[in-house]
Amino acid sequence: MSTVYSDLPVVKYEGPNSTNPHAYRYYDANRVVLGKTLAEHLRPAVCYWHTFCWKGEDVFGLGATAHPRPWFNEADPVKAAYMKLDAAFDFFGKLGLPYWCFHDRDVAPEGATLAESNRILDGLLEAAAKKMQDSKVGLLWGTANLFSNARFMSGAATNPDPEVYAFAAAQVKHVMEWTNRLGGQNYVLWGGREGYETLLNTNLKRELAQYGRFLSSVVEHKHKIGFKGTILIEPKPQEPTKHQYDYDSATVYGFLKTYGLENEVKVNIEVNHATLAGHSFEHEVATACALGIFGSLDANRGDEQLGWDTDQFPNNHVALVPAMLEMIRHGGYTTGGTNFDAKVRRQSIDPIDQLEGHIGGMDTMARAFLNAVDLFQSGELEKTVADRYAGWEGDLGKKILGGASLDDLASVVHAQNISPVPRSGRQERLENIVNKYC
């Protein structure tokens, strides 16, 4: 079946010296490093929402058809959804990436009732299941859209109206069951409106308790239906709310600990959300890894001159090397992957722009990962870090971690006349080492 993407070239790996703008220069899916192929390490996915649902509109009045796609002009929303599905799998085939991701409302229009919405979604996901089987494209994760409809303007799980909470729960149930049926590797909860605009009308303690119960019920249903994937929360500090309860990885971990879910739920970290929270991307990855909740990544970037979530394709591999190094140190993905939660710019209106955006994003992530592998295997940073903490492997370090009291340690200090002197952290040298491998 011909689609708007049918005339696009099939993207292949041609190597760093290629001058073909429609070839991968660094993403060689079959290249083996650290015992796995690049495809197995990176597990890349195309997102459905930005790629096929965004019309190029903006808040300043730019028209909703700024990005001309046939399904945007189809009057019948269900017919348009099937047109979009055909085009999406055609596009997946051009890129040759192994996974895709979706929200329910990306795939299917909403009906008058949840039952009608589910019937429409069922038909489209039945068709998607057949396309997945034919194309060998897997599902990295599914999720329910609990933020676009006006019913969710005050949140879903944290809404002051229990009917909204119940509606959201029913919606999640249906999408999670479909994610399981499609062999999805993860199920994501993005609390886009789980937060507050003002504390003047907010019972924060109650809303956190609601959120905790909601997430617990999601985990319970996961086990009930035998879903083997991972439940993921996607941290974000604000926008659209003033403050969101899943602000960053550390905040999510504290929330999970409170409700006994730290061994059940992990995080899906987005680059642009990390920077909006005032952190570096590598900080969020390292924190999640250290706390045992690292799950998956949304690969994108923000604009350093803009203070909101611009969702641009990654294009600076050097900036991503430290985060890739943290991943490698902690064993990389299990069920997670690299989802391109990114969109082309408003003035990039042609289908080829979408292809080139994904090519550049994929090459950027692959190049960053390969540089990080070289850095890791060199052992230069690893030796420096090991040397810096070597004292903790000695008698004093073991005594401290073995439960020494303040009295015990005071006795040691006096008996051995301990008088520590500062030692350089060698930051400039280490930054130079990183640059050497980029």
Dihedral sign for Cα 29, 30, 33, 36, please.
Answer: positive
Residues near 354 by beta carbon (within 8 Å), at least 6 away in sequence: 51, 91, 344, 348
Question: Per the annotation, does 350 bind a ligand?
Answer: no
Question: Per the annotation, does 41 bind a ligand?
Answer: no
Q: How many helices (H) and strands (E) does the chain have?
A: 16, 14
Q: Is there a contact between 225 and 173 (Cβ–Cβ < 8 Å)?
A: no
* DSSP per-residue codes, 284-336: HHHHHHHHT-EEEEE--B--TT--S---BPP--HHHHHHHHHHHHHTT--SS-
Q: Is there a contact between 85 and 127 (Cβ–Cβ < 8 Å)?
A: yes
Q: Is there a contact between 312 and 306 (Cβ–Cβ < 8 Å)?
A: no
CA angle 326, 365, 106 (to 5 degrees): 110
Task: Name the E strands within 58-144.
Answer: 99-103, 138-143
Question: Per the annotation, does 234 bind a ligand?
Answer: yes
* Omega of the bond leading into 240 within 30 degrees of 0 (cis): yes
Residue 206, Cβ neighbours under 10 Å: how many? 11
Residues near 68 by beta carbon (within 8 Å), at least 6 away in sequence: 349
Q: Is there a contact between 154 and 207 (Cβ–Cβ < 8 Å)?
A: no
Q: Is there a contact between 247 and 234 (Cβ–Cβ < 8 Å)?
A: no
Burial class (CB in 10 A: 0-12, 13-18, 19+), 102: buried
Question: Per the annotation, does 298 bind a ligand?
Answer: yes
Question: Per the annotation, does 341 bind a ligand?
Answer: yes
Q: Is there a contact between 52 and 84 (Cβ–Cβ < 8 Å)?
A: yes
Tokens of 290: 């250290």
Query: Alpha-carbon distance 191 to 143, whole Å?
Result: 11
Query: Alpha-carbon distance 389 to 236, whole Å?
Result: 33
Active site residues: 103, 106
Q: Which residue has the tokens 């990080």?
A: 372
Question: Per the annotation, does 194 bind a ligand?
Answer: no
Give the DSSP H or E segment for 356. Answer: helix 351-378
Question: Per the annotation, does 248 bind a ligand?
Answer: no
Please enumerate, by residue number, every residue annotated as part of a binding site for Mg(2+): 234, 270, 273, 298, 309, 311, 341
Please enumerate, by residue number, every residue annotated as part of a binding site: 234, 270, 273, 298, 309, 311, 341
